[in-house]
Amino acid sequence: MPLVLDDSDQAALDGDRGPAWQLAMRVIVRIAEAVEADHLLDISAAHIDSCLYHGRSGLDFADRLADAGATVTVPTTLNVASFDLRHPDLYRGDPQTAALARRLTERYEEMGCRPTWTCAPYQLEERPEFGQHIAWAESNAIVFANSVLGARTGRYGDFIDICAAITGRAPAAGLHLDDNRQGGVLFRLEGVADRLLDNDGLYPVLGHLVGAATGTRSPVIEGLPGGLSEDRLKALGAAAASSGSVAMFHAVGSTPEAPTLADAFGGRTPGETIVVRPDDLRSTRDRLTTAMGRDIGPIERSSVDIGAICVGTPHYSVGEFGRLVELIATSRVAAGVQFFASTGRDVLMEIELRGWAEHLRESGVTIVTDTCTYITPILAKVDAAMTDSAKWAYYAPGNIGVEVVLGSVEDCVATAVAGHLVRDESMWADA
């Protein structure tokens, strides 16, 4: 069916609400036509990725909207910027690029966006509720909103996101619709040891495996413990959205639209079943460890020179910082090792109130806000870095030219304190 606009949408498209609205509505209408939506729907919130500086075109578009008087009509949060706005001294890049990136952030604030500067808007106090239609950008936020919160959003990339925020409208298509939220492929875990299922290090690895094998379908995962924490679901979804195009997944017994396997598939039979065994998980973890090459065996303690530790991709939660504080305890990061933990401003405020931020800084941890260390030049030159994030491991080699070792947060802290690579292979002994 052709797209049908209501009177208000048509008036905006005709320019009755000014040039900014007209431009934004033109973009939304073209997207709706491309995805074959027959109408637009109201959204209750937006999250903007266009505020991350990728080049002059992004600033030009923001200038055009802001100069025309554009303002957002729904509560709108901002994704990460191109550098840490609170700690600009951490930035090691080109000053002119930084100036343009800062101007871009100012333009979005002028349009009424909330300066949250986080890739994890679901960690803010106000977040979407089950069933609410929203327009979120940032891949890990999209998959978390759909999967864990049960809100409804498409994959709204740069420029589409701010246009949806201005108009308050989005195409009635994709994951906004009931029929498109059911599972498309089943991943069944078999033979995975309980100790691995109960380790945070499993979930980014599993997510990477699932994303790479899923394509554009919504995966359903069977065999995980029920009632998984948001942090584990976050790690799984972020990895799946990076290695694939996953915008929603179902973890049976944990995510709200998958209390049972039958619910996850809407009563239909899975079109494909992929069995995930221990060897599959281990080989996935090893492929993400680029510092050692592909398909490796156990890592020797002295085989890689780790110059940096990077955690917080997606941004660390209060709970994850609590675990980091517990692991570091009275230890200190070894001389010559950089340790970065990325998070959002709201979480930083909370851990400062608890005294954790000061303790971590005294222990040698640098807390980064407003950005992520795999997209902006913060690290001093190193041969290799270690991370607990499959997303960081997937993107960092190409983005910032650093080789990676993937490990658990326990491995990251042990390596940082020892000053050389330490990775506990015991939990992967059966994998």
104 and 131, same domain (yes or no): yes
Same domain membership, residue 151 and residue 76: yes
Q: Which domain holds residue 172?
A: 7-179
Specify whether the backbone of 370 is left (phi greater than 0), alpha (psi in -120 to 50) or beta: left
Q: What's residue 83's pLDDT? A: 86
SS3 labels along the chain: CCCCCCHHHHHHHCCCCCHHHHHHHHHHHHHHHHCCCCCEEECCCEEECCCCCCCHHHHHHHHHHHHCCCCCCCCEEECCCCCCCCCHHHCCCCHHHHHHHHHHHHHHHHCCCECCCCCCHHHCCCCCCCCCECEECCHHHHHHHHHHHCCECCCCCCCHHHHHHHHCEEECCHHHCHHHHCCCEEEEECCCCHHHHCCCCHHHHHHHHHHHHHCCCCEEEECCCCCCCHHHHHHHHHHHHHHCCCCCCEECCCCCCCCCHHHHCCCCCCCCEEEECHHHHHHHHHHCCHHHCCCCCCCCCCCCCEEEEEECCCCCCHHHHHHHHHHHCCCCCCCCCEEEEEECHHHHHHHHHCCHHHHHHHCCCEEEECCCCCCCCCCCCCCEEEECCHHHHHHHHHHHCCEEEECCHHHHHHHHHHCCCCCCCHHHCCC
pLDDT of residue 431: 54
Tell whether 155 is covered by a domain.
yes
The b/e string for 12-36 (b: 16+ C-beta within 10 A; e otherwise) is: bbeeebeebbbbbbebbbebbeeee
Residue 25 and residue 154 share a domain: yes
Domain termination site, one of 145, 179, 213: 179
Pair 139, 228 in one domain: no
Query: Are 252 and 332 in a shared domain?
Result: no
pLDDT for res 316: 98
> Between the CA of residue 27 and those of 13, 76, 160, what are the distances in Å?
10, 18, 7
| pLDDT in single tens digits along all 431 residues of the chain | 899 999 999 999 999 999 999 999 999 999 999 999 999 999 999 999 999 999 999 999 999 999 999 999 999 999 999 988 888 888 898 999 999 999 999 999 999 999 999 999 999 999 999 999 999 999 999 999 999 999 999 999 899 999 999 999 999 999 999 999 999 999 999 999 999 999 999 999 999 999 999 988 999 999 999 999 999 999 999 999 999 999 999 999 999 999 999 999 999 999 899 999 999 999 999 999 998 643 334 444 446 789 999 999 999 999 999 999 999 999 999 999 999 999 999 999 999 999 999 999 999 999 999 999 999 999 999 989 999 999 999 999 999 999 999 999 999 999 999 999 999 888 887 65
Q: Tell me, yes or no, whether 31 lies in a domain.
A: yes
In a domain, residue 19? The reply is: yes
Last residue of a domain, one of 127, 149, 179: 179
Give the pLDDT of residue 430.
60
Which of residues 153, 179, 205 is at a domain's end?
A: 179
Q: How do beta strands 306-311 and 169-171 pair? A: unpaired
CA distance 296 to 428: 13
Asked whether residue 303 falls in the same domain as residue 390, the answer is yes
Q: Are residues 39 and 125 in the same domain?
A: yes
Same domain, 122 and 28: yes
Distance of CA 174 to the CA centre of its chain: 20
Domain contains 135:
yes
**Is residue 1, in this structure, part of any structural domain at all?**
no
CATH number for the domain harbouring residue 63: 3.30.499.10
Q: Are residues 302 and 343 in the same domain?
A: yes
Residues 299 and 189 both lie in one domain: no
Q: Judge whether 388 lies within some domain.
A: yes
Burial zone of 401 (CB within 10 Å; 0-12 exposed, 13-18 middle, 19+ buried): exposed
Domain-located, residue 319: yes
Closest CA to 412 of 200, 198, 118: 200
CA-CA distance, 389 to 405, in Å (whole number)? 10
Residues 272 and 371 grouped into a single domain: no
Give the number of domains in the chain: 3
Same-domain pairing of 46 and 173: yes
Give the model's pLDDT for residue 186.
Answer: 98
- Residue 2 resides in a domain: no
269 vs 288: CA distance, rounded Å: 32
